[in-house]
């Protein structure tokens, strides 16, 4: 118990029986000197203060990543609009059935996005060429 030393009274704190915490009697006064909180082994848990500090932190301005994410979202939106516009043009020109507009838009979008592999792109192009030939007929 030498770890829990009261510097003020130069005596060791102790804990026994129904005592709530470490303490020591102060001489013959009948009073007790309680060990300051934070000195007990139980208090060596992860600090709550740091967690609280995080919660209390003011909202930071948007980071570079957040801006990048926002830009990416905008880009996706623009690409989808472009893809849909292409598909709608094909549908309104009678090249594709109107019910297939969204399917074609998806193909356009995947192509714009770079999802479709080169081999797929060839298929895609032939598909489009076929439709444009059909349109010319
Ligand atoms: Zn003391």
**pTM, entire model:** 0.40
Find the 34 Cα to ligand 1 centroid distance in Å: 7
Residues 84 and 104 in one domain: yes
Residue span of the structural domain in which 13 resides: 5-56
**Per the structure, how many domains does the chain have?**
2
Q: Are residues 130 and 72 in the same domain?
A: yes
Residues 50 and 68 in one domain: no
Q: How far apart are CA 35 and CA 42, in angstroms?
A: 13
CA of 49 to the centre of ligand 1 (A): 27
Other CB atoms within 10 A of residue 40 CB: 14
User: Could you tell me the pLDDT band of residue 132, with boundaries at 50, 70 and 90?
Assistant: low
3-class SS of residue 11: strand
CA–centroid distance, 4 to ligand 1, in Å, is 10
Mean pLDDT, residues 52-56 taken together: 55
Q: What is the mean pLDDT of residues 114-122?
A: 68
Residues 108 and 70 in one domain: yes
Predicted confidence (pLDDT) per residue in 93-114, tens digit: 888 888 888 888 887 788 777 7
Residue 13, classified by CB atoms within 10 Å of its CB into exposed (0-12), middle (13-18) or buried (19+), is: buried
Q: Which two tokens stand for residue 99?
A: 């019910």
**Which of 7-11, 20-24, 56-60, 95-99 has the lowest average pLDDT?**
56-60
């Amino acid at each position: 118990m030498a770890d829990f030393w009261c510097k003020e009274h130069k005596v060791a704190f102790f804990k026994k029986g129904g005592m709530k915490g470490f303490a020591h009697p102060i001489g013959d006064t009948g009073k007790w000197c309680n060990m300051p909180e934070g000195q007990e082994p139980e208090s060596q848990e992860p600090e709550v203060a740091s967690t609280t500090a995080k919660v209390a932190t003011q909202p930071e301005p948007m980071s570079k990543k957040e801006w990048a994410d926002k830009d990416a979202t905008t880009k996706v939106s623009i690409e989808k609009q472009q893809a849909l516009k292409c598909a709608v043009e094909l549908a309104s020109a009678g090249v594709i059935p109107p019910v297939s507009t969204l399917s074609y838009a998806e193909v356009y979008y995947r192509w714009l996005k770079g999802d479709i592999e080169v081999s797929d792109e060839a298929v895609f192009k032939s598909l489009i060429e076929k439709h444009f030939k059909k349109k010319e007929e």
